[in-house]
Structure 1
Amino acid sequence: VPRRAQPNTVLERLYQTKSFPDERQLAGLSKQLDWDERKIERWFRVRRNQDKPGLQRKFCESMWRFTFYLVICIY
């Protein structure tokens, strides 16, 4: 079961512009939210993983490509 990032409007707003914040931004967010920098880094990592395509989507895309090239080779 994939992990979901807990909702946070401040982090989400920054994520929309920059999915890999630098150290200075992490330190500022840490003070603003009263979270550890490690927890903020973890939130960004989980949030980036949330945007990756799932296994089923990857499988479907691979099958379409396989079918396409198979038909092209046979035809």
Structure 2
Amino acid sequence: MGKELVGKITHYFDKIQVAVIELSGKLKEGDSISIERGTEVFEQKATSMQIDKKPVKEAKNGQAIGMKVSQPVKPGF
């Protein structure tokens, strides 16, 4: 199965390692994701997702989620 764009990072909180992602597709907790920008790429599972500081297991197109990431990222990833 090929890659599918599910969102774009709009903000990153470095002290707590959380990225804000504006979704353009569906994302479920446990999904494998690839965070890419140019030649920078890393993969992880979608974990610790929140909407308005409340935990969620699934989010969809148009929603903005906060998600813990394993490496620092920048808006635009």
The answer to whether TM tops 0.5 is no
Higher helix share: 1
TM-score, structure 1 as length reference: 0.24
* Bigger radius of gyration among the two: 1
TM-score, structure 2 as length reference: 0.24
Higher strand share: 2
